[in-house]
Amino acid sequence: MIDVFMDEKFIGEVENQEDFLKKVKDERQKGKLPNTLNIWYNDELKEVHIEIANGRVRRPLIVVEKGKSKLTAEHLKKLEANELTWKELFSQGVMEYLDAAEEENAYVALNEEDVTAEHTHMEISPSIILGLTTSLVPFANFGQSSRLNRGSKAQKQALGFYSANYLVRMDTDVNILHYPQNPLVKSFMYDVSKQNLHPAGQNIIIALMSYEGYNMQDALVFNKGSIDLGLARSTYYRPYKAEELRYAGGLIDEICVPDKEVKGYRSEEDYKLLEDDGIIFPESIVKEDDVIIGKTSPPRFLGEIDEFSIAANKRRESSITMRHGEPGKVDFVMVTENEEGMRLVKTRLRHQRIPEIGDKFASRHGQKGVVGLIVPEADMPFTVTGVKPDLIFSPHSIPSRMTVSHLLEVLAGKTGALDGRTIDATTFSSEPEHDLRKTLLELGFREDGTETLYNGLTGEKLKAKIFIGNMYYLRLKHMVANKLHARASGRIQLLTRQPIEGRAKGGGLRLGEMEKDCLVGHGASLLLKERFDSDITRIQVCESCGMLAVYDNFKNTQFCHRCGGNIVINTIQISYAFKLLLDELRALGIGPKLNLKSKYDDGSRTQRSK
Amino acid sequence: METVAKEFEGKLPQKIINEAVAEAKKRSCSKDQLKKIIQYLKEQYDDARITAGEGIGIVTAESFGEPSTQMTLNVFHFAGVAEVSVTQGLPRLIEILDARKEIKTPSMEIYIKKEFNKDMNVVKKVAASIKETKFADIVTEFTINLSKLQIEATLHQNRIKDLKLTPDTIAKALGEGLKNVIVTSSPNKITLKAKDAENELMEIYKLKEKSKDIFIKGIKGISQVLPVKKDNEFFIVTAGSNLKEVLEIKEIDETKTSTNSLFEVLAVLGIEAARRTVINEAKKVIENQGLDVDIRHIMLIADIMTTSGTVKGITRSGITSGKSSVLARASFETPIVHIINASLVGEEDQLNSVIENVMLNQPVPLGTGLPGLVAKMIKGAEKGIPKGKAKK
Ligand SMILES: [Zn+2]
């Protein structure tokens, strides 16, 4: 007897599981049982499981019976002529949706040729094992699986042409590539998924060689000439928004050029770009922290109105300014109303991003890198016909990562460019390598894709033949312009007196836990102390009770709240964060005491908590 | 010769000196030559020693931690080859360092005494006797009799014969293991019926599942045995571990038999054996992954884990709770508990270790933070010293 479970609950037993399974599957196909039901037999535990719960991942497979696929040429013809629908294929039993559990019972063939009498199912296509973006990777079956993951991840971060109406949209963090192209080497899925309507990359010429060591460790060397011609150029858009909010007591915000009496007034110079309505004019060039929408708000607390001030004085400045570290041009200004009928102003800033050192690029094979050097066109190596690569890629990036697909794409790209056609690089059914080589040879090139190159600086012939060809390259959205940051001193947090966090606010760069470990491991104790001096503070400690004492700066005296003034008080240097901890402990009702010792006595200070 | 050896006594480990002397005698070296050799040995020895002020704790942590990030999760499976599955890689390392009481795959290596270890039959007999037999192992089919509301289990005749069991002994074992159940036996069948009359179908199903796990014969906990031949010698690898009972078997070589369960070793053989087990097991994981960590790092970790007399894991409740500094303990996990407990007893923090000094922004007592500068003060010059810097 075999136990039967439905959604992991025991519901009964059956004598013969095979008959039972067949019967349930028949009923499911006929539509008497729901199509979303899956059933499987666990041979190890001798249990039949029926699954009807939500959230199971299921995928379609072609049913195979007696070694023959149920999907015939006739079906395909009818499908093409729109006489048959996808759904009908399931009701006819030609195809089935299996979940992960039912798949345990299935024996699935990858190709129709592989089908034997034992098989129960067949894949629609072998490349269906890949997801949407992964299937866009050319020659994916020649690459390592983890590289495929990275390749598909890179494509999701690539700059492109995300929407044709981007000019009338107010999306945040938008990048538009200036001259997007469709790839020369693409998979079947590229067109099917309509990627060709919003491409996200450019076909460029790459050479696999080193260049003065500036492309080591995944760095890339770019041709300045190509960049000047608009290679990988993009525009960054960011909207800014101001709203006239309504507060209690009939007070409202006002979008205008702020009056001189307003609290927090900047200066006339700061508002010079604003038009009479308080909004900046389109196409004006703005720097970081510039005012783009002038606005004043009513006071935060009623207490702010002091007796002698005149009415305008109580309003405060609340203008919208450019983000720190982001210059640009005003692209678009829009004035409208929000749901409450109040004035709403949106402006969109635009900034052209020309590739610079540190910008991130990637191919579709998980080979990402940052620009390490931009070389004048004259200094780039060139071929006999005068072709100069747009990009020089380090050959050391290939062997350990085993991205054969990367090399194949260069070869295929070269063939496609020279032959004037796109190359099919669909996973498992791509154009064979030897065909590509043959075409190259017929076109008068070396079949392995290498060419003789000449040193751009000296004109000497390079001893090695260089692998050079076309490739689809992606510019990724991580640009140094958004990330570059340094600080010497600046704003600190009110509570801890440590530097504030974040680039936008000009914050500090954290020396974290692991970096601390590194300095400790090297025994660089004093360097570590110095690095943590950002919140250093001097405190007075009463020697007799161990509590914090007071230093009166006006009278230049020191005293302890408990022991009075006639007592030994010493000044020590500690981090403010620790002083804060002592204060917080006191707030908890714990009285921490500091017992001081001269560091010249035995080298240690002690601290006692009580 | 002996005078030279005497000269270096205490400066070098005695074992090294003795070895050098013995070797010198064998090669008939002169006194001066021996002196030179030992001098050179001493230099090498001193070079290998850790310098004062080296942060060995943090170096150990990083030397151990960095390679473990490279550990792959892909366990090497040998398809088709009989083997006992053992947790490997990072999960196993975490198990060891956390000193988990319940480990995922307890396993033993049981060695047989020299006189038997080439005899396959003895090894097989020992293996059969230690394997734990459960009720499910000797039953071919379970059926639920719905009319009588009872479970009927058909016995596997051959297996029973092999294990020298009878239906009666099985029934007895079942009766001990299951409560409120009537067990009746016939030559090829065991019938189970709950004493309470009103049984639901679900209850009977639960009883069936429960009965499968009832212990019948063997050593408790050892679910799988696998005799293995290595270097002309048979030994048994097991899944499941029970060191105490296995050591009582007389054919077993108790000097070599081992388990990977730290706490069993601790309970049966004591703390020194547990320390060695930590070292061996951690080393095994690292070597299996093809990584290289200096043995002294592993030894330091094992020492810290076992220095209190019991095995303590590197966790909040383990060695961290044993730190002397309140601030160091509070900086790890659950700070409030540590601060409150410390304040209740008026604990004092001597600020002797790294974390406390980082918190107070003082030089940590390591490396450049260790040496102090002692200056002789000229009388009358004290006025020039800034307030609070030097005192007394
Ligand atoms: Zn005091």
For A127-140, give the DSSP string: GGGS-TTGGGSTTG
Q: Which of B63, B210, B360, B385 to mutate to test the interface with A (most CBs of A within 10 A)?
A: B360
How far away is chain A from the Cα of B374, in angstroms, using its nearest Cα?
7
The first and second tokens of residue B348, run together, are 């004092």
Left, alpha or beta for A154 (phi > 0: left; psi -120 to 50: alpha)?
alpha
CA of A538 to the centre of ligand 1 (A): 17
CA distance A79 to A69: 16
Position B389 scores a pLDDT of 47
Chain A: residue nearest B204 by CA? Answer: A10
How buried is A285 (Cβ within 10 angstroms: 0-12 exposed, 13-18 middle, 19+ buried)?
exposed
> How many residues are present in chain A?
610
Rounded Cα gap, residues B82 and B74, in angstroms? 19
Amino acid (1-letter code) at residue A297: S
Pairing of strands B258-259, B107-111: antiparallel
- Which token pair is B19? 């070895």
Per the structure block, which two tokens stand in for B351? 């600020």
Q: State whether A609 and B326 contact (CB < 8 Å).
A: yes
The H-assigned helical ranges of A182-234 are 188-192, 224-228
Which residue on chain A is closest to B136 by alpha carbon? A45
**A/B interface, count of CB pairs below 8 Å:** 121
Distance from CA of B124 to the nearest CA of A (A): 27
Compare B193 and A343 and report the one with higher pLDDT: A343
**What span, in angstroms and rounded, lies between the C-alpha atoms of A474 and A232?**
8
Q: Is A68 a catalytic residue?
A: no
Q: Which residues of B touch A544 (CB under 8 A)?
A: none
Specify the CATH architecture of the domain A235-353.
Answer: Beta Barrel (2.40)
CA distance B201 to B208: 11
A53 Cα to chain B: minimum distance (Å): 21
User: What are the tokens at A174?
Assistant: 């938008």
- Distance (Å, whole) CA A393 – CA A218: 8
DSSP state of A241: E
Report the separation in Å between the CA atom of A496 and the middle of ligand 1, taken as the mean of its atom positions. 25
Specify the 3-state DSSP secondary structure of B98: helix
CB of A593 within 8 A of CB of A545?
yes
Quick check: is A346 catalytic? yes
Of A3, A523, A578, the CB nearest to B360: A578
Strand partners, B182: B193
Which region among A13-22, A326-335, B205-214 has the lowest average model confidence (pLDDT)? Answer: B205-214
What's the CATH code, domain A140-155+178-230+362-475?
A: 2.40.270.10
The CA-atom distances, in angstroms, between A497 and each of A516, A534, A575 are 20, 8, 9
**Distance separating alpha carbons of residues A273 and A9, to the nearest angstrom:** 71
CA A72 → CA A78, A83, A115, A182, distances in Å? 10, 15, 14, 34
Q: Looking at chain A, which residues constitute the CATH 3.90.1800.10 domain(s)?
A: 485-530, 536-609
CA–CA gap between residue B127 and residue B224 (Å, rounded): 9
Judge whether A348 and A331 are in contact, CB under 8 Å: yes
Q: Of A314, A321, A307, A304, which is closest to residue A259 (Cα–Cα)?
A: A314
CB-CB contact of B229 with B252 (8 Å): no
Query: Which of A325, A331, A352, A326 minimizes the C-alpha distance to A176?
Result: A352
Could you tell me whether strands B189-194 and B150-155 are parallel, antiparallel, or unpaired per DSSP bridges?
antiparallel
CATH code 2.40.270.10 region(s) in chain A: 140-155+178-230+362-475
**Looking at A346, A396, A579, A593, which residue is catalytic?**
A346
Q: Which pLDDT score is estimated for B197?
A: 59
Residue A40 is which amino acid?
W
Query: How close is the Cα of A92 to the center of ligand 1, in Å?
Result: 92
Read off the amino acid at residue A482: N
**pLDDT per position as a tens digit, A200-258:** 999 999 999 999 999 999 999 999 999 999 999 999 999 999 999 888 777 888 899 98
pTM: 0.71
Using a CB-CB distance cutoff of 8 angstroms, which residues of chain B are in contact with residue A601? 392
Give the mean model confidence (pLDDT) for residues A484-510.
89
- Hey, are the CB atoms on B390 and A516 less than 8 Å from each other? no
Quickly name the fold that domain A536-609 has: DCoH-like (3.90.1800)
Query: Token pair for residue B380?
Result: 């009358």
CB contact under 8 A, A606 and B363: no
Q: What is the pLDDT of residue B265?
A: 94
Task: Tell me which residue has tokens 């009338």.
Answer: A168
The pLDDT of residue B391: 41
Task: Read off the amino acid at residue A553.
Answer: N
In B, which residues are within 8 Å of A581 by CB distance?
A: 359
Distance from CA of B338 to the nearest CA of A (A): 12
Number of H helices, E strands in chain B: 16, 11
Kindly give, in sequence order, each residue whose CB lies less than 8 Å from that of residue A421, ignoring residues fewer than 6 positions away: none
Check A570 against B59: CB less than 8 A apart. Answer: no
Q: Where do the H-state alpha helices sit in A291-361?
A: none
The minimum CA-CA distance between B337 and chain A, rounded to whole Å, is: 13
Order of strands, sheet of A47-51, starting from the edge strand that comes earlier in the sequence: A9-14, A2-6, A47-51, A38-42
CA distance readout (Å), B69 to A22, A295, B201 = 49, 53, 50
Per-residue pLDDT at A312: 44
**Residues in chain B where the model's pLDDT stays below 70:** 72-83, 197-199, 379-392
Higher pLDDT, residue A379 or A306: A379
| Inter-chain residue contact A525 with B359, CB threshold 8 Å | no
- Of A248, A254, A243, A261, nearest to A302 (Cα)? A248
Cα-to-centroid distance, B331 and ligand 1 (Å) = 28
Contact residues on chain B for A600, CB-CB shorter than 8 A: 372, 374, 390
Domains of chain B: 2-48 (no CATH), 133-217 (3.30.1360.140), 323-392 (1.10.150.390)
**Interface contact flag, A570 B388, Cβ < 8 Å:** yes
CATH topology (fold) of A485-530: DCoH-like (3.90.1800)
Cβ–Cβ below 8 Å for B361 and A571: no
Average pLDDT, chain A: 89
Check residue A258 and report its DSSP letter.
Answer: P
Band of the pLDDT at A302, cuts 50, 70, 90? low
Nearest beta carbon to residue A523 from set B55, B387, B392: B55
A63 torsion bin: left (phi>0), alpha (psi -120 to 50), beta (else): beta
Band (A365; pLDDT cuts 50, 70, 90): very high
A308 pLDDT more than 60: no
DSSP letter for each residue of A421-470: S-EE--TTSPPPHHHHHHHHHHTTS-TTSEEEEE-TTT-PEEEEEEEEEE
The whole-number average pLDDT for the span A466-471 is: 95
C-alpha A281/C-alpha B84 separation (Å) is 76
Is B368 in Cβ contact with A527 (below 8 Å)? yes
The rounded distance, in Å, linking the Cα atoms of A123 and A130 is 12
Single-letter residue type at A565 = G
Q: Could you identify the residue written with the tokens 């601060």?
A: B339
Nearest by CB to residue A521, choosing from B62, B351, B361, is B62
Look at residue A496 in the predicted model and tell me its pLDDT: 92
Q: Does A606 sit within 8 Å of B348, measured CB to CB? A: yes
For residue A175, pLDDT over 90 is answered with yes
Of B361, B370, B372, the CB nearest to A574: B361
Q: How confident is the model at residue A288 (pLDDT cuts 50, 70, 90)?
A: confident
Print burial letters for A135-149: b (CB count within 10 Å at least 16), e (below 16): bbbbbbbbbeeebbe
How many other CB atoms sit within 10 Å of the CB of residue A601? Answer: 10
Structure tokens at A329: 């041009």
Q: Which amino acid is at A408?
A: L
